[in-house]
A and B are shown apart, each in its own frame.
Chain A
């Protein structure tokens, strides 16, 4: 079956602009995670959804970052007033919460803020 997909694969924007990054999880996966990976580092947790609700948003760096998952499937990560320091690869992962810990990652969106 289809894996986790993310769009766009690359996004270049200017400082101060608003961006939306989309994640399509594996069908039937109730848990969805967003991570951010800076160059040469491991992914860092941002936010976790169980169904439609954000169960843990402790990794969001500040209030410019927000994510939604209105129907419990597709999720959108929204970044307002982007800064150069937001440049990174944003990874999405999904899993069958409760049945397995294994998280399946998407290919990521590379965000570049000029």
Chain B
């Protein structure tokens, strides 16, 4: 079984709809991240969480919100989806809580979201 799972894997929705993307991990990691990937732009950080009580905005948090329901679960919500939020969304986890660690991030399989 995959260590980092994302649901749904594909989603088509309409402008103005609320949508939630979910991420679960069995790696026992404390840190979780949401990224967005657009063609030619690489990965951009949306939100990250270093533990259940810690949520931080990334580079492009406008239009998104997150919830860290448990150590293993981190959800990304689009309250009112718009077409320019069409992208590939990745969840990632990392485990070492110490500053100065390698803190390698491991990624889920991605969710392809299309907003019409």
The answer on A and B forming one complex is no
